[in-house]
């Protein structure tokens, strides 16, 4: 369900999603922050097993939709973890009025992860605006759609 990628970082592969006739794999990242709270980056479809595995790591504090296409599972995660703060890529909140996002992401990290995770907005794409995250401790960079690899 969750595979440890680096210290305090786990990944989980989800089901394929269909977008305009193309099938794309999904993957999310879980990062345990210094306060032990979890940041869910690009959440995938939530199953009871995945929920249990995530809860075993700690409390879900942040749910991040890192671009304007990675939002399909956010409502399920928000319902399952109502205390979590919801973060949207620029422009996503206007697209998904049904999701009560707490913040719009920018080049400035949220205080909860400042000093642990850096972020930068990549604009100029006609399809989506994307945030790239850099986890300092593990030197891990997280991209969504600007870099894709299909085996």
- The reported pLDDT for the residue numbered 147 is 66
Question: Per DSSP, what are the bridge partners of residue 147?
Answer: none
pLDDT in tens, the chain (151 residues): 899 999 999 999 887 777 777 777 778 999 999 999 999 999 999 999 999 999 999 999 999 999 877 787 999 999 999 999 999 999 889 889 999 999 999 999 999 999 999 999 987 666 678 889 999 999 999 988 666 665 6
pTM of the model: 0.91
Q: Do residues 48 and 30 lie in contact, with contact meaning Cβ atoms separated by under 8 Å? A: no
Q: What is the pLDDT of residue 143?
A: 86
- Which pLDDT score is estimated for 149? 61
CA distances from 51 to 40, 60, 144 (A): 11, 10, 22
pLDDT at residue 116 in the model: 98
Alpha helices in the chain (DSSP H): 48-57, 74-80, 92-95
Provide the pLDDT for residue 39.
98
């Amino acid at each position: 369900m969750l595979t440890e990628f680096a210290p305090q970082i786990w990944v989980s592969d989800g089901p394929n999603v269909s977008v305009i006739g193309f099938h794309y794999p999904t993957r999310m990242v879980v990062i345990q922050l210094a306060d032990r709270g979890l940041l869910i980056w690009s959440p995938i479809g939530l199953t009871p097993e995945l929920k249990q595995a995530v809860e075993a790591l700690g409390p879900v504090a942040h749910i991040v939709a890192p671009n304007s296409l990675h939002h399909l599972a956010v409502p399920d995660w928000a319902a399952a973890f109502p205390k979590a703060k919801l973060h949207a890529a620029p422009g996503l909140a206007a697209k998904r009025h049904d999701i009560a996002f707490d913040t719009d992401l920018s080049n400035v990290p949220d205080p909860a992860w400042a000093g642990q995770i850096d972020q930068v907005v990549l604009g100029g794409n006609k399809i989506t605006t994307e945030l790239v995250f850099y986890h300092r401790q593990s030197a891990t960079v997280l991209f969504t759609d600007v870099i894709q690899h299909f085996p």
